[in-house]
Amino acid sequence: MLSIYQFYLLNSMKVVIIEDEVPAAARLKKMLGATAYGIEVMAVLDTLAGAKAWIRSNPSPDLIFMDIELSDGSSLDLVREVRVGCPVIFVTAYDEYWQEAFGYNGIDYVLKPVKRERLEAALGKYEELKEYFMSRFRGLVDYRGGGGGVKEKFLVKRGTEYVSIRVEEIAFFHASHKLVCLVRKDGSKFILDRSLAEIEKEVDQGMFHRVNRKYLVNAAAIRRVSTLAKSKLLVEVEPAVKEELVVSSENSAGFKKWLGR
């Protein structure tokens, strides 16, 4: 299973900084890069006009760090006029705007100068909120049907978005170096934050089979099965993999029985 740190490295948190003071923006960017969240700063914007234009023409980031007083106006005008599709952490030297800020996607209000401990606390708050809502979303997506109690969809992250993939679209699951990949029939790959053993318990046993310790394969993805020495089997799948998928002699009888169902 992925550790929290590995998961963040593979699925970086994309943020935007809206700050007109160059030293303050540079310091905040450096502090964000030093955290364990794998943060990618998509843009540093220093004007209200530039921020409005960027948000209107780009995909929403995961999080925005926003100063309130900018050289050409208040960033509160930005959140009033433009649909900001992500949480905002306000970073400012002024403490009188906090109540209004929380009315516009604000999840925290950090006063300058920003201290590392305070920044970490704000990021931690964001992660707790994200995990809470994602757990509720998983409860809706991971529908478990009547008698079988099997998963019908898997929730994965694609860029800055979460999408659900139906099990019928999945060719196989692959474990390597403590990471587990979901591989779709079109060849696209997604990292999962659970072990192959956990996934095996969640999927339809008639549809998926544990070929060996590294692969859990959908029957529909199997293109050819060949015999090897000592009653072993060689399995070829689509999309193809570079290594050989070998079923041990001990497991070959069970595999053939499953395949012939």
pLDDT single digits (tens) 207-219: 999 999 999 999 9
Cα–Cα–Cα angle for 40, 43, 46, nearest 5°? 140
pLDDT single digits (tens) 115-158: 999 999 999 889 888 776 765 555 555 544 444 468 889 988 87
- Give the global pTM: 0.52
| 144, 167 contact by CB (below 8 A) | no
Paired strand residues for 175: 180
pLDDT single digits (tens) 68-89: 999 898 888 888 888 888 999 9
Give whole-number Cα distances, 224 to 116, 141, 236, in Å. Answer: 56, 33, 5
**Looking at residue 7, what is its pLDDT?**
41
| Residues contacting residue 234 through CB under 8 Å, at least 6 positions apart | 225, 226, 227, 228, 244, 245, 246, 247
Q: What percent of the chain has pLDDT above 90?
A: 53
Coil/strand/helix, residue 135: helix
Grade residue 248 by pLDDT with cuts at 50, 70 and 90. very high
Maximum C-alpha span of the chain? 77
Tokens coding 196:
């192959």
| 190, 163 contact by CB (below 8 A) | no
Of 23, 62, 79, nearest in space to 46 by CA: 23
Give the pLDDT mean for 197-226.
92
Q: Is pLDDT above 60 for 6?
A: no
**Looking at residue 130, what is its pLDDT?**
79
Kindly report the average pLDDT of the chain as a whole number.
86
| 84, 109 contact by CB (below 8 A) | no
Coil/strand/helix, residue 231: helix
Give the pLDDT mean for 4-26.
75
Cα–Cα–Cα angle for 134, 140, 146, nearest 5°? 145
Q: Which of 16-25, 52-61, 132-141, 160-169 has the highest mean pLDDT?
A: 16-25
